[in-house]
Chains A and B, each alone.
Chain A
Amino acid sequence: MIEKIQQEITRLKGLGATYVDTRWYPLEEQNYLLMWNGNLKTTASSRESGVGIRVLYKGAWGFSASSDLSNLSALYEKAFDNARIAAERVTFPVRLAEKDEIQAQFESPCQINPFDISLADKVEFLRTMDEKLNQEGVEQRISNLNFMRKKIVFLDSEGSQIEKLITEVFSSLQVTGRDADGDSHERKFNLGRQGESRGWESIDMNIFSENAERIVKELNQVLVADNCPKDDRSVILLPGIMYLQTHETIGHALELDRILGYELAYAGGSFVTLDDFGKLRYGSEKLTARADATLPNSPGSFGYDDDGIPAKDIILIDKGILVGAITGRQMVEEANARARKRIFQESGGANRATTFYRVPIERMTNINIDPGDDGTLDDIVADTEKGIILDGDRSWSIGSNREQFHFGEEIGWLVENGEITDVVKNPTHKGNTVKFWNSLSAVGNESTWQVKYVDNCGKGQPNQIMQLGHGVPACRFDNVRIGE
């Protein structure tokens, strides 16, 4: 197969293509189990294989994909023809940033292949969790396991050949209940990074049991709590919501294709302009954010992106100043040319496709916030006069240029004069992105830093769901509107 692909790539180059690449997925498998109130509602496995072909011709992309490999030549011709037509409407001819010819292999850390574990063992895990969640106050209890494993062979016309084997494990627990008014409330636990590898060994019964107990207890606190007040105060975001704040108002805002207008017809743009790099005070001096695809054991670490660029650790915001973006080969060239200066030295290695039949686009890797020197969560609370601690993503809605946001959380704890007082229900917070990040007044130390996984980040047309990570500490922001 590899030889056939190489022959076709060479053939299209002979026809005038300036660049050709192919992602061949010999195997992509998934196993998903969902238990809801003791019922194993979903027991599903899937298996896919196929190729996706990307052709650059006269500055325009063409793409085709199929699971039917019986006529590979026709598939390459289709991609070439799609590029040929696209080349009739080119305003900025696509150029690709330089890269080295790479021969490499990557395997994500996995001790125990989850696909070697019997279905009976997986069901038993969910049954045990369901029993633990089946407590007073809980009306709905949901637990799931989601395993993915994909083998990807990347070849391009620049001589690179990269083979990757990636294993992903996602799992979550959720409980919901209704308060005296009949309004439903929820509390969740999502598996994040635990240890150095991500196979069946991640499904640690002790960790899940502790968290099952915790979310049931917290749900019951919410069910009898008062509503969140509506006022301006400090908000302390725990990693369970801090990851989403980072994702939506730093991650998406700094995808270079969005900044350059490539998502304006759908997902939206960004308030960031090319002039802002090196100048814009995005946040307070306490804010340092990075796109770190080298972080061990996270879905945002994948060895090599779908341009064949090795994983990198890129600073996005350095002590509050915007300095970097989430980039791939095409966009850095276009951005530098449009800005008439070299903002980006090279691709940041963040061009990824969700599967063989989707085209790579700029996607988040691990968008992390560096831990700070404001101590533990207790230290931050003790230093807060009037505030609220927020945790758990319940709702999120962001302006089309990522300029403003509204988040709803699962639980809030009021803070008065350095002490946690009451639990409140229906907490929310909202704000303007830049003003909000500039109000960052405390960043927790390593003890508060957690890597949260995201298994469902949507972007692009046709839509693509991507897996990634966020390493974030607990953070405090001042004068934030809550309760609306």
Chain B
Amino acid sequence: MKERILQTLRALNAYAVEKGYEVVIFFHEEDSYLMRFANSAVSLNTNEHLIRLEATAYEGRKRATYEMITDLNQIEAMKQGIDFAAEMVHHAMPLSYDPTIPTLKADFIDENGYDAELAKLSNEERLAYFNQVSRNLETEDLKLGGIFSNGTNILAQINTKSEYAQYFKTSDSQVTAVLSHQKLKWEVIAEQSAQKKTDLDPEKLNRDLTFLIEHYQNDAPQQLPLASYDIVFGHAATAEMVRFMNWIGFNGGLMKRGYSFLTEEEIGQKILSEKITLKDDPTILETFPQKQDFMGIDRNPYPLFMDGVFQGFIWNQDDADEFGAEPTGHTVMHNSLVLEGGEQEIDSLQDLVKQPREKDILYIPYLHYMNIVNPSQGLITGSSRFGSLLLKADGSVVVPYNVRLTQSLLEIFGEKVAWLSNKTIPYNVSNSYGARNPIALIVPKFIRVNDLEISHANDSY
């Protein structure tokens, strides 16, 4: 299939060159499988195989894009799509800067992230996995929900500046298993991100769910008083907050447009806790990385915060062109963010609960529906969900009703950080509204932040 895709792209490129166009041709193919569970049944079992072709035409400072869903047999329709882009660009308005067209100097083929066994899992295997995850856990009141999503993602690119092409092929899987109480409306979750089939471990999810259910069934629920708490965030909550930092933190273009809580003057300054080291590290396969960006820049680990010191903004090519910055190899579908672990030896929630403690600890595994209240201040808000626990100083455990946090990311990752667990985990945040685009972050399994105020506490689940 790879050769056929590349041959097709080369044929389309040759067509564009012959016509005198200046065009970048982008190819995306997904073979997606999703088994969705609800109320302990398979509520949806679906497969989509889609090929998208995008042609961006340039004419001096003008730029226009035409995208189509197609298939490899439709070569004439694809050529027509390129013609459309070339026609559109005549009528576009010039930009105030010179847009850069990538100059690829050699073919770049990366299939290291592809595992055929994961990509081609059968319906029977997906179902068997979920049956194993939920073994002995479902009851009349406790129902299984979740998804098993897996598939293949192919990205390829060629342009009229050279005959060279890029080709990236990855496999990915995102598993979410939720057990929810039909009457009381509480939910507990266990998740897994996989880049290869051997990453899948249904027994671990079964153990995690078993542990949480035991607490939710046996420990007393409570509405928490509005106050400050020492909070331990689980990896899902941490990943979500880091993802928001990716939007309103170190993105150069957004900073220039006023949507960042960081400034150029803060480069080289200590902004966060010295315990925070955050990188974009495309060498880690579990992040579904791109090792070369779409401009042909090789991607290497790129420091963002080292011991809390801000290292600098990332620049994609278009923002770099507009604001006169140097591109940093970040013209990609997504970054490969890695928040390094710390020194606290905690591997599991079971370890955290067992640990002796001097004060109550609020454990928040997951933040639901997070949004930005004020980007300039890094102020975000979101509610706890999926298995929060209040670990009392006396060793007992209380199940708290959900709470809301409205806090600045500068505060959360600032001097109040007490520790980060030494173990890290890939957390899958894929959320494809359109084309499949697997994304995962590497984050510590747990982070403790002291003295954070909660702004709302529910009086029921």
Contacts and interface: CB of A to CB of B under 8 A. Distances in A.
Interface stretch (A61-69, A194-202, A383-391): A61-69
Interface string B426-455: 000001110000000000000000000001
B284 to A, nearest CB: 25
16 contacts: A37-B96, A61-B45, A139-B257, A176-B258, A264-B145, A265-B38, A265-B145, A268-B369, A359-B44, A395-B372, A397-B369, A399-B368, A403-B458, A406-B404, A461-B149, A462-B46
Contacts of B372: 395
A123 B90 CA distance: 12
A397 B258 contact: no
Interface string A31-51: 000010111111111111110
B461 interface: yes
Contacts of B42: 60, 85-90
Nearest to B40: A91
Interface in A170-204: 176, 178, 181-184
A10 B431 CA distance: 36
A408 B385 CA distance: 21
Q: Main SS of chain A's interface residues?
A: mixed
Contacts of B419: none
A89 to B, nearest CB: 5
A49 B259 contact: no
A426 B377 CA distance: 11
Which residue of A67, A265, A271 has the most chain B CB atoms within 10 A of its CB atom? A265
B149 A85 contact: no
B383 A397 contact: yes
A90 B41 contact: yes
Nearest to B191: A265
B302 interface: no
Interface in B148-196: 149, 176-178, 180, 182, 185, 187, 189
Contact of B41 (A50, A91, A271, A462): A91
B69 interface: yes
Contacts of B456: 404, 406, 430
B199 interface: no
A276 interface: no
B3 interface: no
A40 B44 contact: no
Contacts, number: 256
Contacts of A37: 96
Contacts of A403: 458, 460
Given A67-B50, A359-B44, A400-B383, A45 B66 contact: yes
Interface in A338-371: 357, 359
A146 interface: no
Contacts of B306: none
B145 A397 contact: no
A104 to B, nearest CB: 27
A62 B145 contact: no
B343 interface: no
A458 B433 contact: yes
B91 A123 contact: yes
Interface string B391-411: 000000000001010100000
Interface string A86-106: 111111100000000000000
Contacts of B222: none
Interface in B80-128: 81, 84, 88-89, 91-97, 123-124, 127
Contacts of A119: 88, 91-92
B376 interface: yes
Contact of B381 (A42, A118, A406): A406
A400 B322 contact: no
Given A81-B123, A268-B368, A400 B47 contact: no
Interface of A: 35, 37-50, 60-68, 70, 78, 81-83, 85-92, 118-120, 123, 127, 139-140, 176, 178, 181-184, 260-266, 268-269, 271, 357, 359, 394-401, 403-404, 406, 408, 426, 428, 430, 458, 461-465, 484
A261 B38 contact: yes
Given A63-B47, A86-B35, A395-B371, 11 more contacts: A39-B322, A44-B65, A45-B65, A67-B50, A70-B71, A85-B45, A123-B93, A181-B376, A271-B185, A401-B461, A403-B460
A113 B397 CA distance: 62
B73 A68 contact: yes
Given A176-B258, A463-B432, A401 B185 contact: yes
Nearest to A29: B68
A397 B124 contact: no
- Most A CB atoms within 10 A — which of B37, B44, B370? B44
Contact of A261 (B39, B97, B147): B39
Contact of B433 (A41, A181, A463): A463
B43 A426 contact: no
B34 interface: yes
A469 to B, nearest CB: 20
B214 interface: no
Given A45-B88, A50-B69, A395-B372, A85 B41 contact: no
A284 B147 CA distance: 39
A61 B369 CA distance: 29
Contacts of A465: 433
Interface in B186-216: 187, 189
Contacts of A85: 42, 45, 123-124, 127
Interface string B129-148: 01100000000000101110
B48 interface: yes
Contacts of B40: 89, 91
B35 to A, nearest CB: 8
Contact of A88 (B64, B127, B147, B176): B127
A220 B298 CA distance: 44
B30 to A, nearest CB: 10
A408 B35 CA distance: 36
B431 A397 contact: no
Contact of B65 (A42, A66, A271, A398): A42
B217 interface: no
Contact of A183 (B147, B371, B374): B374
Contact of B382 (A43, A82, A87, A397): A397
B213 to A, nearest CB: 15
A181 B127 CA distance: 55
Contact of A61 (B43, B404, B432): B43
A184 B371 contact: no
A86 B46 CA distance: 10
B180 A264 contact: yes
Contacts of B65: 42-45
B48 A261 contact: no
Contacts of B458: 399, 403-404
Contacts of A397: 369-371, 381-383, 404
B70 interface: yes
